[in-house]
Amino acid sequence: MALRASLRGFARVDGGRPRVIGHRGVRRDGIVENTLAAFAVAADEGAEALELDVRTCASGELVVAHDPTLARITDDADERAVADLSLLDLSRVTLPGGARIPALAEALAFARERRLPVNVEMKRDAPSRTAVVRAVARLLSRWDPAHPVLVSSFDPAMLSGLALLAPGIPRAVLVHRTPWHGLHAATSIPIGAAAVHLDRVLTRPDLVRSLLARGLVVNVWTVNDPAEARDLAALGVDGIITDAPGEMRAALE
C-alpha cells in the first residue's frame, strides 16, 4: 500500500515482528532522556528506531526537549524556559551525568551514523507552533533522503502545516485518550498522514485492525510490559515505542 511504502524504516516487514522504538532514547534513573547519551544506550540495547521531541529555542533552532522548561531534567536546579534560551545558552546547561541538550541536527546525525530511523515529535505547547512547523520543514527538507524520518504530533493543524511546507516528509498522528480520540484517529487520512501512534490504552483489536486495513502504520506508546508487547505483536502493530528498548526487544525475539 502506498502509505505504508512511504514509511521505510517504520512499517513492519511481512512475517517479522514489530520494530522497537526507543522513547526519548531510554527513560530510567541515571540517564537524562532526549540526550545523545540516552540515544546511545537505546541503540546499544537494540532499539531499531528512536523517538524524540522537538521545540524551537530563542535563536530559532530546533532542540530536543520534551518539556517547555528545564526544571524536570535539571532536578529543579534550572527553571528557565527552553524558548527563552539560545542554542548557545542551552549548550552550556549541564544536565545530570554531564549530558546536555542536543540540537535536532545533532540527534539526526547520531541516528544516521547508527542507522536508526527517527520519529520526530513536534511539541504543541511551544510558544509558536508555526515556528516549530517551519523549522522542522526547513531542516528536514534538507536532510539526507536516505535516512528514514517520520514527524508526529498530537496537533493535526501542525501536521497539515508541515504537509503544505514539506509534502514529502511522512507524518503520523499521535492519539491519546480524550473525548475526541476517535475523531483524531479518523483525521489521519484527510491530513495525509501515513501512520497513527496510539496510546497503549486505546489499542482495541477492532481499532488496530481497522487502521491497518486502511494501509496506515500503527505504532503504540508507551509500552514497557513484555507481555503487553507480545500481545500487541500478535495484534499486528508495526512498532512498540518504549522506555526500555532492551527489555522489549528481548520479549519480542
φ/ψ of residue 100, rounded to 5 = -145, 165
Tell me the C-alpha distance between 91 and 87, whole Å: 6
Whether the predicted pLDDT of 164 surpasses 70 = yes
Mean pLDDT for 189-216 is: 87
Cβ count within 10 A of residue 59? 12
Q: Which amino acid is at 122?
A: M
Domain locations along the chain: 2-252
What pLDDT does 184 receive? Answer: 53
Beta bridge partners of 198: 175, 220
Whether the predicted pLDDT of 182 surpasses 70 = no
From the list 68, 65, 70, the residue with the least C-alpha distance to 24 is: 65
Tell me the C-alpha distance between 179 and 191, whole Å: 20
From the list 200, 199, 204, 136, the residue with the least C-alpha distance to 170 is: 136
In the chain, what percentage of residues exceed pLDDT 90? 84
Note whether 172 and 219 are within 8 A (CB).
Answer: yes
Q: 86-108, pLDDT tens digit by residue? A: 999 999 999 999 999 999 999 99
Question: How would you class 142 by CB atoms within 10 Å of its CB: exposed for 0-12, middle for 13-18, buried for 19 or more?
Answer: exposed
Whether the predicted pLDDT of 126 surpasses 90 = yes
190-193 CB contacts, 8 Å cutoff, 24+ apart: 191/156, 191/159, 191/160, 191/163, 192/163, 192/167, 193/159
CA triplet 121, 100, 28: central angle to 5 degrees?
70
C-alpha cell at 133: 512547523
Banded pLDDT at 28 (limits 50, 70, 90): very high
Tell me the C-alpha distance between 48 and 106, whole Å: 18
Q: Which of 9-18, 45-54, 140-149 has the lowest mean pLDDT?
A: 9-18
pTM: 0.95
Q: Catalogue the E-assigned strands of 2-142.
A: 19-23, 49-56, 62-64, 118-122
Tell me the C-alpha distance between 199 and 222, whole Å: 7
Three-state SS for 249?
Answer: helix
What pLDDT does 193 receive? Answer: 87
**Domain 2-252 is found in CATH 3.20.20.190:** yes
Length of the chain: 253
In the chain, what percentage of residues exceed pLDDT 70? 93
Tell me the C-alpha distance between 60 and 54, whole Å: 12
Tell me the C-alpha distance between 58 and 50, whole Å: 25
What pLDDT does 190 receive? Answer: 47
What pLDDT does 189 receive? Answer: 53
Whether the predicted pLDDT of 176 surpasses 90 = no
Banded pLDDT at 160 (limits 50, 70, 90): very high
What pLDDT does 239 receive? Answer: 98
Mean pLDDT for 131-148 is: 97
Mean pLDDT for 144-169 is: 95
Residue with cell 540526550: 35
Mean pLDDT for 144-159 is: 94
